[in-house]
Structure 1
Protein backbone atom coordinates (compact mmCIF):
# COMPACT_ATOMS: atom_id res chain seq x y z
CA UNK A 1 0.00 0.00 0.00
CA UNK A 2 1.37 3.41 -1.01
CA UNK A 3 0.53 6.20 1.44
CA UNK A 4 0.84 9.83 0.34
CA UNK A 5 -0.02 12.63 2.75
CA UNK A 6 0.45 16.22 3.81
CA UNK A 7 -1.08 18.50 6.45
CA UNK A 8 -1.65 22.14 7.30
CA UNK A 9 -2.92 24.25 10.18
CA UNK A 10 -6.03 26.34 9.53
CA UNK A 11 -7.08 29.27 11.72
CA UNK A 12 -10.66 28.06 12.10
CA UNK A 13 -12.57 25.98 14.63
CA UNK A 14 -12.56 22.22 13.98
CA UNK A 15 -16.33 22.20 13.38
CA UNK A 16 -15.97 24.75 10.53
CA UNK A 17 -13.14 22.83 8.86
CA UNK A 18 -14.96 19.50 9.25
CA UNK A 19 -18.24 20.91 7.87
CA UNK A 20 -16.46 22.26 4.80
CA UNK A 21 -14.63 18.97 4.09
CA UNK A 22 -17.66 16.75 4.83
CA UNK A 23 -19.53 18.25 1.82
CA UNK A 24 -18.07 17.06 -1.50
CA UNK A 25 -19.64 20.07 -3.25
CA UNK A 26 -16.88 22.13 -1.59
CA UNK A 27 -14.05 19.96 -2.92
CA UNK A 28 -14.22 21.43 -6.43
CA UNK A 29 -12.55 24.54 -4.92
CA UNK A 30 -9.60 22.36 -3.85
CA UNK A 31 -8.94 20.76 -7.23
CA UNK A 32 -6.07 21.62 -9.59
CA UNK A 33 -6.59 22.94 -13.14
CA UNK A 34 -6.33 19.48 -14.73
CA UNK A 35 -9.67 18.46 -13.18
CA UNK A 36 -12.77 19.22 -15.23
CA UNK A 37 -16.37 18.01 -15.83
CA UNK A 38 -16.94 18.29 -12.08
CA UNK A 39 -20.37 17.31 -10.75
CA UNK A 40 -21.10 16.66 -7.12
CA UNK A 41 -23.56 16.22 -4.29
CA UNK A 42 -22.86 16.28 -0.57
CA UNK A 43 -21.91 12.58 -0.70
CA UNK A 44 -20.54 11.98 -4.20
CA UNK A 45 -18.30 13.64 -6.81
CA UNK A 46 -17.58 12.82 -10.44
CA UNK A 47 -14.82 14.42 -12.49
CA UNK A 48 -12.29 13.89 -15.24
CA UNK A 49 -8.54 14.12 -14.82
CA UNK A 50 -7.10 15.63 -18.00
CA UNK A 51 -5.35 13.01 -20.17
CA UNK A 52 -5.94 10.32 -17.56
CA UNK A 53 -9.29 9.01 -16.35
CA UNK A 54 -12.79 9.71 -15.15
CA UNK A 55 -13.31 9.17 -11.44
CA UNK A 56 -16.33 8.88 -9.19
CA UNK A 57 -15.86 9.15 -5.45
CA UNK A 58 -18.32 8.74 -2.63
CA UNK A 59 -18.05 9.38 1.07
CA UNK A 60 -17.77 5.99 2.71
CA UNK A 61 -17.53 7.17 6.30
CA UNK A 62 -17.85 10.36 8.34
CA UNK A 63 -16.68 10.64 11.95
CA UNK A 64 -17.77 14.08 13.11
CA UNK A 65 -14.89 16.46 13.76
CA UNK A 66 -12.40 13.63 13.14
CA UNK A 67 -12.37 12.08 9.64
CA UNK A 68 -14.01 11.88 6.21
CA UNK A 69 -13.20 8.85 4.04
CA UNK A 70 -13.85 8.72 0.28
CA UNK A 71 -13.67 5.63 -1.92
CA UNK A 72 -14.42 5.08 -5.63
CA UNK A 73 -18.13 4.63 -6.33
CA UNK A 74 -17.34 2.96 -9.67
CA UNK A 75 -14.43 0.88 -10.89
CA UNK A 76 -11.15 2.78 -10.58
CA UNK A 77 -7.75 2.09 -12.23
CA UNK A 78 -6.47 0.94 -8.79
CA UNK A 79 -7.74 0.48 -5.25
CA UNK A 80 -7.66 3.84 -3.49
CA UNK A 81 -8.92 5.52 -0.32
CA UNK A 82 -8.83 9.27 0.32
CA UNK A 83 -9.08 10.54 3.89
CA UNK A 84 -9.32 13.97 5.40
CA UNK A 85 -8.46 13.96 9.09
CA UNK A 86 -9.01 16.96 11.34
CA UNK A 87 -7.51 17.50 14.76
CA UNK A 88 -8.17 20.37 17.16
CA UNK A 89 -5.07 22.31 18.13
CA UNK A 90 -7.01 25.04 19.96
CA UNK A 91 -10.53 26.48 19.81
CA UNK A 92 -9.49 28.53 16.76
CA UNK A 93 -6.87 26.27 15.13
CA UNK A 94 -7.31 22.96 13.34
CA UNK A 95 -4.76 20.62 11.83
CA UNK A 96 -6.07 19.14 8.56
CA UNK A 97 -4.34 16.13 7.04
CA UNK A 98 -5.10 14.72 3.57
CA UNK A 99 -4.07 11.09 3.02
CA UNK A 100 -4.27 9.00 -0.15
CA UNK A 101 -3.79 5.26 0.28
CA UNK A 102 -3.42 3.43 -3.04
CA UNK A 103 -2.76 -0.17 -3.99
CA UNK A 104 -0.18 0.36 -6.74
CA UNK A 105 2.03 -2.16 -8.47
CA UNK A 106 5.66 -1.10 -9.04
CA UNK A 107 5.00 0.36 -12.50
CA UNK A 108 1.90 2.29 -11.37
CA UNK A 109 3.78 3.51 -8.30
CA UNK A 110 6.52 4.99 -10.50
CA UNK A 111 3.94 6.67 -12.75
CA UNK A 112 1.37 7.78 -10.18
CA UNK A 113 3.31 8.68 -7.01
CA UNK A 114 4.45 12.09 -8.30
CA UNK A 115 1.02 13.21 -9.56
CA UNK A 116 -0.70 11.92 -6.40
CA UNK A 117 1.77 13.81 -4.17
CA UNK A 118 1.17 16.96 -6.26
CA UNK A 119 -2.59 16.49 -5.79
CA UNK A 120 -2.23 16.11 -2.02
CA UNK A 121 0.06 19.14 -1.77
CA UNK A 122 -2.26 21.23 -3.98
CA UNK A 123 -5.37 20.35 -1.97
CA UNK A 124 -3.62 21.10 1.33
CA UNK A 125 -2.51 24.52 -0.02
CA UNK A 126 -6.02 25.23 -1.35
CA UNK A 127 -7.85 24.24 1.84
CA UNK A 128 -5.58 26.66 3.72
CA UNK A 129 -6.32 29.43 1.15
CA UNK A 130 -10.08 28.81 0.97
CA UNK A 131 -10.63 28.53 4.72
CA UNK A 132 -7.86 31.01 5.57
Structure 2
Protein backbone atom coordinates (compact mmCIF):
# COMPACT_ATOMS: atom_id res chain seq x y z
CA UNK A 1 0.00 0.00 0.00
CA UNK A 2 1.19 3.49 -0.86
CA UNK A 3 0.38 6.29 1.58
CA UNK A 4 -0.25 9.93 0.67
CA UNK A 5 -0.94 12.69 3.23
CA UNK A 6 -2.18 16.25 2.90
CA UNK A 7 -0.72 19.20 4.69
CA UNK A 8 -2.45 19.89 8.02
CA UNK A 9 -5.19 22.45 7.42
CA UNK A 10 -6.75 24.87 9.92
CA UNK A 11 -10.55 25.16 9.94
CA UNK A 12 -12.26 27.91 11.94
CA UNK A 13 -15.08 25.62 13.10
CA UNK A 14 -15.70 23.07 15.82
CA UNK A 15 -14.76 19.46 15.16
CA UNK A 16 -18.44 18.56 15.64
CA UNK A 17 -19.61 20.81 12.78
CA UNK A 18 -16.87 19.62 10.42
CA UNK A 19 -17.54 15.98 11.31
CA UNK A 20 -21.25 16.38 10.58
CA UNK A 21 -20.43 17.99 7.22
CA UNK A 22 -17.86 15.38 6.04
CA UNK A 23 -20.09 12.49 7.21
CA UNK A 24 -22.62 13.20 4.44
CA UNK A 25 -21.65 12.94 0.76
CA UNK A 26 -24.58 15.21 -0.14
CA UNK A 27 -22.41 18.06 1.18
CA UNK A 28 -19.42 17.27 -1.04
CA UNK A 29 -20.78 18.53 -4.36
CA UNK A 30 -20.03 22.11 -3.27
CA UNK A 31 -16.38 21.13 -2.63
CA UNK A 32 -15.49 19.43 -5.90
CA UNK A 33 -14.03 21.19 -8.93
CA UNK A 34 -16.88 21.30 -11.46
CA UNK A 35 -14.40 21.46 -14.36
CA UNK A 36 -12.81 18.09 -13.44
CA UNK A 37 -15.66 16.07 -11.92
CA UNK A 38 -18.93 15.42 -13.75
CA UNK A 39 -22.17 13.46 -13.20
CA UNK A 40 -22.11 13.80 -9.39
CA UNK A 41 -24.67 11.59 -7.63
CA UNK A 42 -24.79 11.09 -3.87
CA UNK A 43 -26.61 9.73 -0.87
CA UNK A 44 -25.51 10.30 2.72
CA UNK A 45 -23.13 7.30 2.62
CA UNK A 46 -22.17 6.90 -1.07
CA UNK A 47 -21.28 8.95 -4.13
CA UNK A 48 -20.62 8.30 -7.81
CA UNK A 49 -18.99 10.61 -10.33
CA UNK A 50 -16.86 10.80 -13.47
CA UNK A 51 -13.34 12.20 -13.46
CA UNK A 52 -12.03 13.71 -16.69
CA UNK A 53 -9.25 11.52 -18.07
CA UNK A 54 -9.85 8.70 -15.56
CA UNK A 55 -13.47 7.59 -15.87
CA UNK A 56 -16.23 6.63 -13.46
CA UNK A 57 -15.52 6.32 -9.74
CA UNK A 58 -17.39 5.92 -6.50
CA UNK A 59 -16.86 6.21 -2.76
CA UNK A 60 -18.65 5.00 0.31
CA UNK A 61 -18.28 5.80 4.00
CA UNK A 62 -16.99 2.73 5.81
CA UNK A 63 -16.37 4.07 9.33
CA UNK A 64 -17.17 7.11 11.47
CA UNK A 65 -15.66 7.97 14.84
CA UNK A 66 -17.58 10.90 16.30
CA UNK A 67 -15.80 14.23 15.84
CA UNK A 68 -12.42 12.61 15.05
CA UNK A 69 -12.37 10.49 11.87
CA UNK A 70 -14.35 9.58 8.78
CA UNK A 71 -13.05 6.75 6.57
CA UNK A 72 -14.06 6.27 2.94
CA UNK A 73 -13.39 3.44 0.50
CA UNK A 74 -13.80 2.87 -3.21
CA UNK A 75 -17.22 1.72 -4.35
CA UNK A 76 -17.92 0.13 -7.71
CA UNK A 77 -15.61 0.08 -10.69
CA UNK A 78 -12.51 2.21 -10.09
CA UNK A 79 -9.02 2.25 -11.66
CA UNK A 80 -7.41 1.23 -8.33
CA UNK A 81 -8.59 0.53 -4.79
CA UNK A 82 -7.88 3.02 -2.03
CA UNK A 83 -8.96 4.20 1.39
CA UNK A 84 -9.33 7.88 2.23
CA UNK A 85 -9.71 9.19 5.72
CA UNK A 86 -10.10 12.62 7.21
CA UNK A 87 -8.84 13.15 10.74
CA UNK A 88 -10.02 16.04 12.93
CA UNK A 89 -8.38 17.49 16.03
CA UNK A 90 -9.94 20.46 17.78
CA UNK A 91 -7.18 22.54 19.41
CA UNK A 92 -9.35 25.42 20.66
CA UNK A 93 -12.90 26.68 20.31
CA UNK A 94 -13.61 27.12 16.57
CA UNK A 95 -10.07 25.97 15.72
CA UNK A 96 -9.86 22.46 14.30
CA UNK A 97 -6.97 20.93 12.38
CA UNK A 98 -7.67 18.41 9.64
CA UNK A 99 -5.44 15.97 7.79
CA UNK A 100 -6.42 13.83 4.80
CA UNK A 101 -4.72 10.52 4.07
CA UNK A 102 -5.04 8.07 1.18
CA UNK A 103 -3.71 4.53 1.21
CA UNK A 104 -3.83 3.11 -2.29
CA UNK A 105 -3.04 -0.26 -3.80
CA UNK A 106 -0.71 0.97 -6.57
CA UNK A 107 1.93 -0.80 -8.58
CA UNK A 108 5.19 1.19 -9.09
CA UNK A 109 4.14 2.43 -12.55
CA UNK A 110 0.74 3.69 -11.30
CA UNK A 111 2.45 5.32 -8.31
CA UNK A 112 4.70 7.29 -10.67
CA UNK A 113 1.76 8.25 -12.90
CA UNK A 114 -0.76 9.34 -10.25
CA UNK A 115 1.28 10.13 -7.12
CA UNK A 116 1.61 13.86 -7.76
CA UNK A 117 -2.09 14.10 -8.70
CA UNK A 118 -3.21 12.26 -5.54
CA UNK A 119 -1.18 14.59 -3.32
CA UNK A 120 -2.59 17.62 -5.18
CA UNK A 121 -6.14 16.24 -4.79
CA UNK A 122 -5.68 15.75 -1.02
CA UNK A 123 -4.48 19.32 -0.53
CA UNK A 124 -7.23 20.70 -2.81
CA UNK A 125 -9.94 18.84 -0.87
CA UNK A 126 -8.38 19.88 2.46
CA UNK A 127 -8.35 23.52 1.33
CA UNK A 128 -11.97 23.24 0.16
CA UNK A 129 -13.07 21.88 3.56
CA UNK A 130 -11.00 24.50 5.43
CA UNK A 131 -12.36 27.39 3.35
CA UNK A 132 -15.99 26.24 3.07
CA UNK A 133 -18.27 28.88 4.56
CA UNK A 134 -21.53 26.98 4.91
CA UNK A 135 -21.03 24.97 8.11
User: Normalising TM by the smaller chain, what interval?
Assistant: over 0.9
In the TM superposition, 1:58-73 aligns within 5 A as: 58-73=60-75
Question: TM-score normalized by structure 2?
Answer: 0.92
Question: TM-score normalized by structure 1?
Answer: 0.94
Distance in structure 2 (CA, Å) of the matches to 1:126 and 1:90? 21
Give the 3-state SS of the residue equivalent to 1:61 in structure 2: strand
Deviation at 1:28, TM superposition (A): 1.7
Give the 3-state SS of the residue equivalent to 1:108 in structure 2: helix
Q: CA RMSD in A?
A: 1.3
Contact 1:13 1:91 in 2 (8 A): yes
Question: Runs of at least 4 residues of structure 1 off by over 4 A?
Answer: none
Task: Answer with 85-94 or 72-81: which moved more.
Answer: 72-81
2:44 is the alignment partner of 1:11? no
**Partner of 1:88 in structure 2?**
90
**Partner of 2:57 in structure 1?**
55
Deviation at 1:27, TM superposition (A): 1.4
